[in-house]
Chain A
Amino acid sequence: MPYSQQNRIKNHPVLQEKESVVVNFTFDDKKLFGKKGEMISSALIANGIQIFGKHPEDKAPLGIFCANGQCAQCTVLVDGIALKSCMTPLNEGQKIESIEDYPPLPEDDEEVVFKPIPTIDTDVLIIGAGPAGLQAALTLAKLGSKTILIDDKDRLGGKLLLQTHKFFGSVKDSFAGTRGIEIAKILEEQIKEFENIEVWLDSPCIAVFSDKLVGVLKGDKYVHINPKKLLVATGAREKMLTFPGNTLPGVYGAGAFQTLVNRDLVKSSEKIFIIGGGNVGIIAGYHAIQAGIEVVGLVEALPKCGGYKVHEDKLRRLDVPIYTRHTVIATHGKNHVEAVTISQIDEKFQPIKGTERTFEVDTVLIAIGLDPVNEFYVKAKEFGMDVWAAGDALEIAEASSAMFSGKIAGMKIGQSLGHTKEDVPTEWEEKAEILKSHPGPVVKIEKPIREEGICPVFHCNQEIPCNPCTSVCPKELIVIPEGGILGLPEFQKEQEVECIGCAQCVAVCPGLAVTLLDYREDSNYPEVTIPTEIFVEKVEEGDKLMVVNEDGEELGIHEVEKVRILKKYSKTQLVTVKLPKKVALEAVSFKTPKAYELKEIEQYKDIIPDEAIICRCERITAGEIRALIRMGITDANELKAKSKVGMGACGAKTCSKLIEKLFREEGISYDEITPFVQRPLFIEVPLKYFTGSQEEDE
């Protein structure tokens, strides 16, 4: 497939494709093109290849799953060597092959020179350079501590790199109103200013050992780090679900999806379905639409979505059906997802027979929550090391909260090193707490009627930790009267100064929930300025757009009067239309014409819940595990011994939580369960790295 015809996102409202060198490679002898340095998995998906191999045990198709270097589902042969395609950069001339059977070891009999493994001393080792790790490193650097900051990816930022939307939170201290991808850049620049922060990229931690050394693959070189203090800021991993078809290529986490679409700009899918109505699922849905991918629907098990109302509104306004009190019961397809079946659930979250509906989709995103990646923390604690955790590794919360969590951990570590006598500022702790807040109830707010001059209107009717609108107003006319940053903003209309219509508040709002009304020209037909980040093309004067209210109700097609783009918010188009004053207060957004029809197809028969896979590495089904649990087993290690569950390449990262759930479903309480014993290595590592001789290889 020529590069120009590949599944790549070339036009995006927010993101721009970077210039790159096109290289040749082969996959199973087929000649293909890709971008030099992109991950092989993304190059394959861009070429329309979603199936990377077959599981040697049962020939089940395998494709991308975590897109994060944690599982090994995407393994391919690269020039004869089995590697994770999501962590291996593409290079000119690579011969890539799918794996169907366990591959032979290459007959490379060249001898190796052995050298001792170096041990590196440092004040602090931070594992993970996401929002928490970066802020911790900065805090420590300012205190004068010598820090090594490691990350397994090729760039700093962690999951900030996937977040193309503007952040909530407060402007002053957590970059509210700025996109995650921009925050990553800002922090990276700050990190560069400190000589006492050593950054190691492409450097996964593989184990924390009982002799208090941390094993790290520094690029191609294996080293032991001997830190005085250890900070684990390894983030989170996505929870999975058990349903038949749950390991089909095309079923993966929202984070994996965002990695493909937002980081690597590959169009992984045409039609997706989302499981989970929290912020992660809702935002992923919006990101999909921005990338030109249809969202066929979203299910949420609870009666209401748990994500922010303003995020949910963005999806609803684009006619995405949101099915509350529903769950996924199966995905179908021969080698890839072809359809999904959902069902209503009762009070006990059990599917209600007869309510099943099946939709044609090619991708199902699981966004039902996250679990902390805390293995290194647990081990380090067990071995008596001075260890802290921050961000999602400590507690799952928003990235803005993770940044505070990192700062706090940095300060505490600085104290314990004797590098500062200052206490952690109490406001940090407070803010970290506030930023973790769940959204409040949706309230009905009276929109102030003032049919003269210029004024903003806030379509923000739920308490969430967010205040950028208040801080950007040059006239200080926007305030949050009560509740701190959790409160709802108001426009101070009885002031001497007047709103000047700069539209900063419209452009900054992460929820796209502020509009600006200008009654000066015609108080019966005020000009309404509406923010939008959905159109790939620049909206032009004279374009005709469908205007909608908060609930997505259509307010008619109106002609665009003008379009403004503020320099600081270059990806948010501020579109002005003239509306009858009756609807001007309601208007909040535009709707794009739907490019697809909801295709409901006849239900698949014979959905057998026991066929769901629990352990994707060893292909162990829910049925097998249930049968063992019903024999009276309460020790996960016994399940492992008897079924091999958890013995695969990933080290039980996904199945351990699924097993806990199966135990609960079988009526066994958490206290009765003996969890898996965790053993190194965190990821599989070729033996050659332990020879100490890798330096001279390349």
Chain B
Amino acid sequence: MSKKYDVIIIGAGSVGVPAAYAMSREGLKVAVIESLPSSGQGQNKKAIGGIRATHTNPSKILLCQDSIDIVSNWEDRYGHDIEWFQGGYTFVAYNEAHEQLMKENLVIQKESGLNINWVEREKIIELVPGISKEGLLGGTYSPEDGNSSPLKTLYAIQKQSLTTGAEYFFKESVTNIELKKGAVKKVITNKDEYEADFVINAAGASAKQIGEMVGLNLPIFPDSHESGISEPVQKFIDPLVVDLRPGKGTKNFYFYQNIEGKFILCLTPEPIIPGINENETSVFLPQVAQRLIGLIPRTKHLKMRRTWRGLYPMTPDGSPIVGKVADFKGYINAVGMCGQGYMLGPGLGELLARLAMEKTSPSDDRILEELSLERDFGKIEKLK
């Protein structure tokens, strides 16, 4: 006999866990199936922890505004310390092209209701003490963005979802999804079988393989980024800082100092490194030293503690693929987060719950249209 649920979520990560929380809270019977031994052991624990609504795709802006709302109120609401810190985000501009790009983006961002502004050089110097002043023009500052601990946040959400009845099955791999008359019937794992009205693909970097089980060819191409964390030092930088200038072998560089005082650093390699290799390389430390010390010289004394390498499940346009698929009733995509699953997850979980309960709003419908698998992937997100 197979087990029966309203919803089966494949993947207990940044997307799956908040979805399980939102859906179980709304009274749905939810099971989460995860091949790894515990939640967040795929890419969630690789996330650096920034949560921003500062995007150029209106859907992402809306989803992340919801995420910020959920995460920033979490401790007050449920009492779990998730190390939320509303330090804002600042994109710094050292050339006119970037200044122009940022100012153009401001138009869309402000239209979507974002609290974001262009700030002058002096303000950036105040926000990021010790920042290299040479050539600094200014930047954007969005004070409502922030960061929290991915480990603690996911754990808190999972804990909450358990109180509303979500069930988790770890060390269990989905081997097949059975369809009947164009509708999802059963999810089969190496240990069990599950029947459900909805199956949500929240498998992160493995989402393409799950999609193939129902005959979908999802355009998801993981590439890898390395990250690092430092020792804690007295906190002196509040916002998460993004530097879009290219460096040697690198593109974007971004970091923040978390509530404990540790610096968490990540960069986008140039060219990208496609594939799912998550082993640490010798390349990262010299690159990240150059980027951070180049930007803030006093960090030369900062001690690096640990490095790791995580995957960004990329889509051709840099935006996620979310929603139902015409031919397969009951199957829902929540895939291709492009390295932003952590910040999109909580807001997306709420949307998925409304979708499963057929209670979507007109704004939700616009998001779902914009993030649909059937969309035109030609429009590129400018702040990937």
Contacts and interface: CB of A to CB of B under 8 A. Distances in A.
B293 A641 contact: no
B37 A635 contact: yes
A237 B357 CA distance: 56
A690 B289 contact: yes
A691 B289 contact: yes
B297 A679 contact: no
A685 B289 CA distance: 11
Interface string A618-648: 0000000000000001110110111000000
B308 to A, nearest CB: 5
A209 B283 CA distance: 9
A366 B93 CA distance: 55
B261 A684 contact: no
Contacts of B294: 112, 114
Given A101-B234, A105-B301, A681-B307, 6 more contacts: A109-B297, A640-B151, A641-B38, A641-B154, A684-B303, A691-B289
Given A82-B303, A687-B304, A105 B282 contact: no
The 6 closest A-B pairs by CB, nearest first: A210-B279, A690-B289, A638-B38, A635-B37, A688-B300, A104-B234
Given A633-B38, A641-B45, A102 B261 contact: yes
Nearest to B303: A684
B293 A209 contact: no
Interface in A227-279: none
A103 B234 contact: yes
Interface in A157-193: none
B339 to A, nearest CB: 19
B297 A681 contact: no
A224 B293 contact: no
B304 A684 contact: yes
B303 A687 contact: yes
Contact of A207 (B40, B280, B292, B297): B280
B293 A691 contact: yes
A214 B39 CA distance: 32
B293 A688 contact: yes
A111 B133 CA distance: 11
Interface in B123-155: 130, 132, 151-152, 154-155
B298 A642 contact: no
Contact of B38 (A213, A637, A679, A684): A637
B40 A680 contact: no
A103 B233 contact: yes
B290 interface: yes
A651 B306 contact: yes
B291 to A, nearest CB: 10
B286 interface: yes
A114 B282 CA distance: 16
Contacts of A685: 303-304
Contacts of B285: 215, 690
Contact of B289 (A103, A679, A688): A688
A81 interface: yes
A69 interface: no
A102 B234 contact: yes
Contact of B297 (A56, A108, A634, A689): A108
Contacts of A107: 130, 298
A207 B285 CA distance: 11
A355 interface: no
Interface in B30-72: 37-41, 45
A75 to B, nearest CB: 9
Interface in B331-375: none
B243 to A, nearest CB: 15
A210 B234 contact: no
A397 to B, nearest CB: 31
Contacts of B38: 633, 635, 637-638, 641, 674
A109 B301 contact: no
Interface centre among B40, B234, B286 (most CB of A within 10 A): B286
Interface residues of B, number: 46
Given A641-B38, A680-B307, A210 B130 contact: no
Given A641-B38, A641-B45, A106 B282 contact: no
A117 interface: yes
A97 to B, nearest CB: 14
A82 B230 CA distance: 13
Given A209-B280, A638-B38, A649-B231, A692 B130 contact: no
A641 B151 contact: yes
Given A82-B231, A207-B280, A109 B155 contact: no
A110 interface: yes
A211 interface: yes
Contacts of A681: 304-307
A686 interface: yes
Interface residues of A, number: 51
A638 B277 contact: no
B245 to A, nearest CB: 14
B299 interface: yes
A108 B290 CA distance: 16
B298 A635 contact: no
B280 A679 contact: yes
Nearest to B305: A684
Given A102-B233, A107-B130, A692-B286, A641 B307 contact: no
A635 B41 contact: yes
Contacts of A105: 130, 233-234, 236, 298-299, 301-302
Interface string B261-290: 100000000000000010111110110111
B293 A112 contact: yes
B232 interface: yes
A109 B130 contact: yes
A109 to B, nearest CB: 5
Interface string A190-218: 00000000000000000101110101000
Contacts of A110: 297
Interface in B212-252: 230-234, 236
A638 B41 contact: yes
Nearest to A673: B37
A638 B158 CA distance: 12
Given A82-B231, A114-B294, A209 B282 contact: yes
A114 B304 CA distance: 17
A651 to B, nearest CB: 7
A383 interface: yes
B301 A111 contact: no
A110 B280 CA distance: 30
A380 to B, nearest CB: 12
Contacts of B302: 105, 686-687
Interface string B300-323: 111111111000000000000000
Interface in B1-39: 37-39
Interface string A337-365: 00000000000000000000000000000
B286 A117 contact: yes
B298 A641 contact: no
B231 A680 contact: no
A642 B303 contact: no
B37 A106 contact: no
A82 B304 CA distance: 13
A182 to B, nearest CB: 37
B306 A687 contact: no
Contact of A674 (B37, B151, B155, B261): B37
Contacts of A633: 38
A664 B372 CA distance: 49
Contacts of A82: 231, 303
30 contacts: A56-B232, A101-B234, A102-B233, A102-B234, A103-B234, A104-B233, A105-B130, A105-B233, A107-B130, A108-B298, A108-B300, A108-B301, A109-B297, A112-B293, A114-B293, A635-B38, A638-B37, A641-B155, A651-B306, A686-B300, A687-B293, A687-B301, A687-B303, A687-B304, A690-B286, A690-B289, A691-B286, A691-B290, A691-B293, A691-B300
A5 B312 CA distance: 62
A110 B298 CA distance: 7
Contacts of B305: 649, 651, 681, 684
